[in-house]
Structure 1
Amino acid sequence: MARYFWAATALCLVAVVAAQAQWPAPPVPSPVGFQSINDDRFSQLRRQAIQFVESRPRQGFQFVEWHRDAEFQIHCRGVPVVWLERRSQHLLLRVSLDADQRAPAVLQLRAILQWQLEPLDHLEQVLAGVPEPVLMDRMLQVLAGEVPDGARCGVL
């Protein structure tokens, strides 16, 4: 009986992996929380993100603004790869886990943005409710495989 259970479990796991290979999940963000900032500072970060996109006119990047003084994203061929969200008590910066494959240039932008901000320590992040990608998210990202060439940005 136990043998059938393990065989069925293994078969289900293979089916999940195969489904992920056929229909990759959207990229999972890896968030980092930072101390809250004022309007001028947020506007400066926003301008830097816009300059990043504008300096790469035909590389597939797009600046998407959800709320002028609260949230913006950078998309790579329609897929979000960087999110900056200003919440009441903190700032949340997220970069998709597949950014190194999909849009490696955004890793430099992330470093520039992070350099200008003061991170929350781990306890502050937990208390603020900053979500952390779980191991399963990271495993599914690995199993989804390579990003197709046509879905990448920054490659001419």
Structure 2
Amino acid sequence: MPRALWPAWVWAIIILSMEGASDKASSLSCDPTGVCDGRSRSLNSIPSGLTAGVKSLDLSNNEITYVGNRDLQRCVNLKTLRLGANEIHTVEEDSFFHLRNLEYLDLSYNRLSNLSSSWFRSLYVLKFLNLLGNLYKTLGETSLFSHLPDLRTLKVGNSNSFTEIHEKDFTGLTFL
């Protein structure tokens, strides 16, 4: 390719990628109070461009497979996160780290085969957690919920493969 065409090629790629990003962001409808609805929009990933203005985010009933460390990092004022009924099989260790105001988290009916306590380590004000209907067989080797002192509602288990539960699984839960 001639050298003179490189700048045009680069701009074309940038414009196309920006259009893709705006398409994803436009798949959400957000009201002025920060409530964003992305339910049932055939999304396969968490939309980019989310900001601190988002207080409630509903991405349930989509085709999301992965929650990355950076997907929600700007959503520092998020109080409600609904990710139920997706295809999520991977949640990176720090995916929820910046969500220190999160009170409600729904990860139900996904494909999570392992649960990690690191997901919850900064969610001190979380009051509701739904993990129903995933593929995990146990709640893990360590106390999964030890960083959730305010948790009041916990939904765990599945109908097919949940095999064991131990007293240590609920260490740190004072309101249940």
Q: TM-score range by the shorter chain?
A: under 0.3
Give the TM-score taking structure 1 as reference length.
Answer: 0.26
Higher strand residue share: 1
Normalized per residue, the structure richer in helix is 1
**More relative contact order in 1 or in 2 (CA 8 Å, sep 6+)?**
1
